[in-house]
Amino acid sequence: MELKLKYTTPIEWAHQAVKDIDSFLQDHADAERKVANMCLSLIAKYPNRIEIIDELIQISVEELLHFKQVYELIRYRGHQLNGVFQKDPYIKGVMSIVRSGSEELFMDRLIIASIAELRGSERFKLIGEVVDDPKISKFYTNLYVQELEHINSFIKMAKCYFDSEVVDKRTEEILIKEAEVSANLPWRSAIH
Ligand SMILES: [Fe+2]
Ligand SMILES: [Fe+2]
Protein backbone atom coordinates (compact mmCIF):
# COMPACT_ATOMS: atom_id res chain seq x y z
CA MET A 1 0.00 0.00 0.00
CA GLU A 2 1.32 3.41 -0.91
CA LEU A 3 1.14 5.82 1.98
CA LYS A 4 -0.64 8.99 0.98
CA LEU A 5 -1.58 11.96 3.13
CA LYS A 6 -5.24 12.88 3.31
CA TYR A 7 -4.61 16.59 3.78
CA THR A 8 -2.32 18.55 1.46
CA THR A 9 -0.41 21.41 3.03
CA PRO A 10 -1.00 24.59 1.00
CA ILE A 11 2.03 26.49 -0.28
CA GLU A 12 0.85 29.51 1.76
CA TRP A 13 1.80 27.53 4.83
CA ALA A 14 5.43 27.54 3.68
CA HIS A 15 5.38 31.25 2.84
CA GLN A 16 4.24 31.94 6.36
CA ALA A 17 6.67 29.47 7.96
CA VAL A 18 9.77 30.97 6.29
CA LYS A 19 8.93 34.48 7.47
CA ASP A 20 10.73 33.51 10.64
CA ILE A 21 13.19 30.98 9.29
CA ASP A 22 15.31 31.13 12.44
CA SER A 23 12.43 29.90 14.60
CA PHE A 24 11.67 27.28 11.97
CA LEU A 25 15.27 25.99 12.14
CA GLN A 26 15.15 25.82 15.93
CA ASP A 27 11.96 23.77 15.83
CA HIS A 28 13.30 21.57 13.08
CA ALA A 29 16.57 20.84 14.92
CA ASP A 30 14.49 19.78 17.89
CA ALA A 31 12.31 17.53 15.71
CA GLU A 32 15.30 15.72 14.18
CA ARG A 33 16.82 15.11 17.58
CA LYS A 34 13.50 13.75 18.84
CA VAL A 35 13.17 11.23 15.99
CA ALA A 36 16.70 9.97 16.68
CA ASN A 37 15.71 9.66 20.34
CA MET A 38 12.50 7.86 19.50
CA CYS A 39 14.38 5.19 17.53
CA LEU A 40 16.76 4.67 20.44
CA SER A 41 13.94 4.46 22.93
CA LEU A 42 12.17 1.83 20.79
CA ILE A 43 15.38 -0.24 20.94
CA ALA A 44 15.51 0.20 24.71
CA LYS A 45 11.85 -0.78 25.12
CA TYR A 46 11.86 -3.72 22.70
CA PRO A 47 15.34 -5.28 22.86
CA ASN A 48 13.94 -8.66 21.77
CA ARG A 49 12.57 -7.40 18.49
CA ILE A 50 15.80 -8.20 16.72
CA GLU A 51 14.29 -7.93 13.23
CA ILE A 52 14.11 -4.14 13.48
CA ILE A 53 17.03 -3.09 15.66
CA ASP A 54 19.55 -2.60 12.85
CA GLU A 55 17.17 -0.39 10.94
CA LEU A 56 16.25 1.61 14.03
CA ILE A 57 19.95 2.24 14.66
CA GLN A 58 20.44 3.24 11.02
CA ILE A 59 17.52 5.70 11.04
CA SER A 60 18.65 7.12 14.35
CA VAL A 61 22.09 7.78 12.86
CA GLU A 62 20.55 9.47 9.82
CA GLU A 63 18.25 11.65 11.91
CA LEU A 64 21.14 12.65 14.13
CA LEU A 65 23.04 13.67 11.02
CA HIS A 66 20.05 15.81 10.00
CA PHE A 67 20.15 17.36 13.45
CA LYS A 68 23.84 18.16 12.91
CA GLN A 69 23.07 19.73 9.53
CA VAL A 70 20.26 21.90 10.91
CA TYR A 71 22.50 22.93 13.79
CA GLU A 72 25.09 23.99 11.21
CA LEU A 73 22.46 26.10 9.44
CA ILE A 74 21.52 27.73 12.73
CA ARG A 75 25.16 28.71 13.26
CA TYR A 76 25.51 29.82 9.64
CA ARG A 77 22.63 32.21 10.39
CA GLY A 78 24.61 33.56 13.35
CA HIS A 79 22.61 31.88 16.08
CA GLN A 80 22.92 29.01 18.51
CA LEU A 81 20.48 26.45 19.87
CA ASN A 82 18.01 28.42 21.95
CA GLY A 83 17.10 25.61 24.34
CA VAL A 84 13.42 26.34 23.85
CA PHE A 85 11.51 23.12 23.45
CA GLN A 86 8.05 23.91 22.21
CA LYS A 87 5.35 21.32 22.71
CA ASP A 88 4.47 19.76 19.41
CA PRO A 89 0.66 20.00 19.11
CA TYR A 90 0.77 17.77 16.04
CA ILE A 91 2.34 14.82 17.83
CA LYS A 92 0.03 15.36 20.80
CA GLY A 93 -3.00 15.44 18.49
CA VAL A 94 -2.06 12.38 16.47
CA MET A 95 -0.95 10.40 19.53
CA SER A 96 -4.40 10.87 21.05
CA ILE A 97 -5.55 8.02 18.82
CA VAL A 98 -2.96 5.56 20.16
CA ARG A 99 -4.33 2.42 21.81
CA SER A 100 -3.15 1.38 25.23
CA GLY A 101 -2.53 -2.37 24.90
CA SER A 102 1.21 -2.97 24.60
CA GLU A 103 1.03 -4.66 21.17
CA GLU A 104 -1.42 -2.09 19.82
CA LEU A 105 0.72 0.72 21.20
CA PHE A 106 3.79 -0.71 19.47
CA MET A 107 1.95 -0.94 16.16
CA ASP A 108 0.46 2.54 16.43
CA ARG A 109 3.80 4.14 17.32
CA LEU A 110 5.43 2.67 14.23
CA ILE A 111 2.57 3.71 11.95
CA ILE A 112 2.61 7.25 13.35
CA ALA A 113 6.37 7.39 12.85
CA SER A 114 5.92 6.60 9.15
CA ILE A 115 3.12 9.11 8.70
CA ALA A 116 5.13 11.82 10.49
CA GLU A 117 8.04 11.15 8.11
CA LEU A 118 5.69 11.59 5.18
CA ARG A 119 4.29 14.86 6.55
CA GLY A 120 7.80 16.12 7.29
CA SER A 121 8.93 15.27 3.80
CA GLU A 122 5.92 17.03 2.25
CA ARG A 123 6.67 20.19 4.20
CA PHE A 124 10.46 20.20 3.72
CA LYS A 125 9.82 20.15 -0.02
CA LEU A 126 7.58 23.24 0.27
CA ILE A 127 10.15 25.05 2.41
CA GLY A 128 12.83 24.29 -0.18
CA GLU A 129 10.61 25.82 -2.85
CA VAL A 130 9.88 29.11 -1.12
CA VAL A 131 12.80 30.00 1.13
CA ASP A 132 15.00 32.81 -0.25
CA ASP A 133 18.40 31.71 1.00
CA PRO A 134 19.86 29.34 -1.64
CA LYS A 135 21.89 27.40 0.92
CA ILE A 136 18.83 26.70 3.06
CA SER A 137 16.74 25.96 -0.01
CA LYS A 138 19.25 23.39 -1.26
CA PHE A 139 19.35 21.75 2.15
CA TYR A 140 15.56 21.31 2.31
CA THR A 141 15.27 20.10 -1.24
CA ASN A 142 17.85 17.39 -0.51
CA LEU A 143 16.38 16.57 2.87
CA TYR A 144 12.92 15.98 1.49
CA VAL A 145 14.27 13.24 -0.77
CA GLN A 146 16.18 11.63 2.10
CA GLU A 147 13.13 11.62 4.38
CA LEU A 148 11.10 9.94 1.65
CA GLU A 149 13.25 6.86 2.22
CA HIS A 150 12.10 6.67 5.83
CA ILE A 151 8.43 6.73 5.02
CA ASN A 152 7.92 3.04 4.53
CA SER A 153 10.56 1.94 7.03
CA PHE A 154 8.43 2.03 10.15
CA ILE A 155 5.36 0.47 8.55
CA LYS A 156 7.59 -2.28 7.19
CA MET A 157 8.81 -2.85 10.76
CA ALA A 158 5.22 -3.11 11.97
CA LYS A 159 4.59 -5.73 9.31
CA CYS A 160 7.38 -7.89 10.76
CA TYR A 161 5.07 -8.47 13.73
CA PHE A 162 1.52 -7.90 12.57
CA ASP A 163 -0.65 -9.00 9.70
CA SER A 164 -0.16 -6.73 6.72
CA GLU A 165 -3.88 -6.11 6.25
CA VAL A 166 -4.34 -5.24 9.91
CA VAL A 167 -1.50 -2.72 9.69
CA ASP A 168 -2.91 -1.21 6.48
CA LYS A 169 -6.36 -0.85 8.01
CA ARG A 170 -4.98 0.83 11.11
CA THR A 171 -2.78 3.07 8.93
CA GLU A 172 -5.89 4.24 7.13
CA GLU A 173 -7.54 5.18 10.44
CA ILE A 174 -4.48 7.05 11.65
CA LEU A 175 -4.13 8.88 8.31
CA ILE A 176 -7.64 10.23 8.77
CA LYS A 177 -6.80 11.45 12.26
CA GLU A 178 -3.50 12.93 11.07
CA ALA A 179 -5.25 14.87 8.31
CA GLU A 180 -7.77 16.27 10.74
CA VAL A 181 -5.00 17.36 13.15
CA SER A 182 -2.88 18.87 10.35
CA ALA A 183 -5.78 20.77 8.82
CA ASN A 184 -6.78 22.32 12.13
CA LEU A 185 -3.48 23.40 13.63
CA PRO A 186 -2.68 27.12 13.54
CA TRP A 187 0.32 27.89 11.30
CA ARG A 188 3.61 28.61 13.02
CA SER A 189 7.23 28.94 11.95
CA ALA A 190 7.61 25.28 12.74
CA ILE A 191 7.32 22.01 10.90
CA HIS A 192 3.88 21.43 12.42
FE1 LIG B 1 15.30 13.69 9.48
FE1 LIG C 1 13.36 10.81 8.78
CA of 172 to the centre of ligand 1 (A): 23
- What is residue 113's predicted lDDT score, i.e. its pLDDT? 97
Give the distance (Å) from ligand 1 centre to CA of residue 60.
Answer: 9
Domain range for 145 is: 11-80+106-184
Cα 142 to ligand 1 centroid, rounded to whole Å: 11
Phi and psi for 58 in degrees, rounded to 5? -60, -45
In percent, how much of the chain has pLDDT > 90? 94
Q: Is residue 146 situated within a structural domain?
A: yes
pLDDT of residue 35: 96
Residue 89, domain member (yes or no): no
Residue 88 inside a domain? The answer is no
Say how many Å lie between the CA of residue 147 and the centre of ligand 1: 6
The CA distance from 57 to 12, in Å, is: 36
Q: 35 C-alpha vs ligand 2 centroid, how far in Å?
A: 7
pLDDT attached to residue 84: 84
118-170: per-residue pLDDT in tens?
Answer: 999 999 999 999 999 999 999 999 999 999 899 999 999 999 999 999 999 99
**Distance (Å, whole) CA 85 – CA 28:** 11
- Asked if residue 148 belongs to a domain, the reply is yes
Q: Is residue 63 part of a domain?
A: yes
- 86 or 73: which carries more pLDDT confidence? 73
How many structural domains compose the chain?
1
Q: How far is the CA of 69 from the centre of ligand 2 (A)?
A: 13
Question: Residue 89 and residue 95: Cα distance in Å, rounded?
Answer: 10
Q: How far is the CA of 131 from the centre of ligand 2 (A)?
A: 21
pLDDT at position 2: 83
Select from 168, 122, 87, 150 the least CA-distant residue to 7.
122
Distance 147 CA to ligand 2 centre (A): 4
Instruction: Report whether 26 contacts 81 (CB < 8 A).
Output: yes
Distance from Cα 29 to the centre of ligand 1, integer Å:
9
DSSP H helical ranges for the chain:
11-17, 21-45, 50-76, 89-95, 102-130, 134-161, 164-184
Nearest to 84 by CA among 162, 190, 158, 2: 190
Domain-located, residue 117: yes
**Quick check: is 96 in a domain?**
no
Q: pLDDT for 13-44, tens place per residue?
A: 999 999 999 999 999 999 999 999 999 999 99
Ligand 2 centroid – CA 66 distance (Å): 8
**CATH code, domain with 175:** 1.20.1260.10
Within a domain: residue 86? no
- At residue 93, does pLDDT exceed 90? yes
